[in-house]
Amino acid sequence: MSDAFVSLAGLTLSYGETVAVPDLDLDIAEGELIALLGPSGCGKTTTMRAIAGLLTPARGRIVIDGEDVTRTPANKRGIGLVFQSYALFPHLSAFENVAFGLRLRKRPEAEIRARAEAGMATVGLTGFEGRRPAEMSGGQQQRLALARSLVMEPKVLLLDEPLSNLDARLRLDMRNELQRVQKDTGITMVFVTHDQSEALALADRIVLMKDGRIEQSGPPAELYAEPATRFAADFMGFENIFGVEGPDLVSETGRLPLGYPTDSPILAWRPDGVAVGAGPHSGRVTASSFAGGHREYVIDCPLGRIKANAPIDTAEVPLGRDIAFDLPQATARPLAA
Ligand SMILES: Nc1ncnc2c1ncn2[C@@H]1O[C@H](COP(=O)(O)OP(=O)(O)OP(=O)(O)O)[C@@H](O)[C@H]1O
Ligand SMILES: [Mg+2]
């Protein structure tokens, strides 16, 4: 048995005949904040449901805190859940929503009061005790859902896209809040998102999934700088990915001389790794948009579309004009075939 706090071993998860997750292995350390990242349908929620005990694995084992819980009912696993629809009780006050689980456990009134108040304070909702969920903003409801889970002192807290209903600003605030709560409480958390920037900002480790399998797993900085596969690179923002054949970059639409030697069968560049305004290549500007600190170009060239970010202090090249660009060796990410 591994010394991981949460260990998924050979986990196969099916819906009837459909295998959503085949043979998954994942170890999570105590206190770790894991982001499960991946496109829609890759098995993130399915994996979370299995950890929570809401889905019985067809094969494999789930160990939490040294105990095999594969056949343990959901309510005996010590897991907290915050899902996308946070399912607050509409007829209960905020305080009673948070206190609900403790009441079910028949804790003494004084303890319920103290823990629920502390839980509301943790998520910054002191003063909102008497409100009904309908009288609170989306972000406040989200925090209430978080508090409701936290007061149960779960061994593991599972969060399935808990920020997806929030506007951009609130999302950022909640992101920071979550990170702080996690560091303060030391609770092991698995956080599902399909937003790579959210995963990068929050996680100790990103687990990138594809078709029910782990494509790559590592610290955010590693996935960001060193995606191992074409899929991982694409997901982590390398929007320009081309094959290499002899001295040329190739795509389905054409080829372009690379201009320097490489051993890699595939090279990838982020938009900000493409140099514009000078360089050996040329293409037509088909889109140009102001993005605050930089300008985003889409350039039509023999390889197809190139996405390039230009510093905002460089002269804008209008739509339909030709623009020179370079795909520099220094910013190229080599990928295996
Ligand atoms: N109740 C179900 N019955 C049958 N198939 C299901 C069921 N729930 C999910 N699936 C299938 O299992 C696969 C994984 O689904 P899952 O919900 O885990 O994806 P996800 O990664 O959470 O996606 P999203 O980002 O869209 O939430 C998908 O192919 C999906 O169609
Ligand atoms: Mg999901």
Q: What structural domains does the chain harbor?
A: 6-234 (3.40.50.300), 238-335 (2.40.50.140)
Out of 1-5, 6-10, 117-121, 255-259, which region has the weakest mean confidence (pLDDT)?
Answer: 1-5
Q: How far apart are alpha carbons 109 and 159 in whole angstroms?
A: 28
Strand partners, 81: 158
Nearest to 141 by CA among 178, 90, 177, 180: 90
Instruction: Quote the pLDDT of residue 2.
Output: 58
DSSP state at residue 76: G
Q: How far apart are alpha carbons 125 and 99 in whole angstroms?
A: 14
Out of 46-50, 78-82, 180-184, which region has the weakest mean confidence (pLDDT)?
Answer: 180-184
Q: How far apart are alpha carbons 52 and 70 in whole angstroms?
A: 10
Q: Which of 13, 37, 46, 85 to mutate to test ligand 1, by most ligand atoms within 8 A of the CB atom?
A: 46
Q: How far apart are alpha carbons 158 and 109 in whole angstroms?
A: 27
- What residues line ligand 1, using a CB cutoff of 6 Å? 15, 18, 20, 38, 40-46, 194
Tokens at 162, concatenated: 């808990």
Cβ atoms 202, 172 nearer than 8 A: no
Query: What's CA 54's distance to the chain center, in Å?
Result: 22
Nearest to 46 by CA among 68, 24, 29: 24
Using one digit for the tens of pLDDT, what is the confidence trace for 146-184?
889 889 889 999 999 877 767 777 778 778 878 888 888
CA of 249 to the centre of ligand 2 (A): 37
Cβ atoms 46, 20 nearer than 8 A: yes
Which ligand 1 atom sits closest to the C-alpha of 212? 14
Nearest to 187 by CA among 52, 99, 50, 80: 80
Out of 5-14, 145-154, 157-166, 217-226, which region has the weakest mean confidence (pLDDT)?
Answer: 157-166
Using one digit for the tens of pLDDT, what is the confidence trace for 86-116?
688 999 999 999 999 999 989 999 999 999 9
Protein residue closest via CA to atom 11 of ligand 1: 20
What does the DSSP assignment read for 25-75?
Answer: EEEE-TT-EEEEE--TTSSHHHHHHHHHTSS--SEEEEEETTEE-TTS-GG
Q: Could you tell me which residues come within 8 angstroms of residue 209 by beta carbon, excluding any fewer than 6 positions away?
A: 36, 37, 38, 42, 43, 44, 47, 215
Rounded (10°) angle between helices 109-122 and 138-150: 130
